[in-house]
Structure 1
């Protein structure tokens, strides 16, 4: 396993360290989904949802969408739309006069 080589520990030790987080694979998946969440809620990030998924290491669009919805209770597209609606909120009425 590459992580073991980079960190310089035995595989069994790595698994023991990540046991409280649900295991190595689950920890990595959560980190990738968190990265995608941050990108989708960043108004300055103009990449497509597919590009964000790929940059987060999640290459299958349908699997990404399912995992994202399971983790956050909202589809990636819905989250992005909600974020854009907040940042593009209409100006208050009546307009301020100065």
Structure 2
């Protein structure tokens, strides 16, 4: 498994739309890239955001990163992002999931 970490800030006043459009964007992403196993959108204490996606493998994560702008719902969702803090992939070496829902 690979975890994708994407840090960003949101245009002022766009947070509500960012959250409202998230389910449709994730659904479209998963249809196009079925190796996406989970997604968590988090907000940090400083107000910035960290999108955490779990992928089946590194090749699938890299392919999705290259082609994500070909998914209209993703491209539309990205318009709420003011500034990207970068994207990186980390390989899961050990995990414990527990009672995630």
TM-score (structure 1 length as normaliser): 0.25
Q: Tell which has more relative contact order, 1 or 2 (C-alpha 8 A, sep 6+).
A: 2
Q: Greater strand percent: which structure?
A: 2
Instruction: Tell me the TM-score normalized by structure 2.
Output: 0.24
Bigger fraction of residues in helix = 1
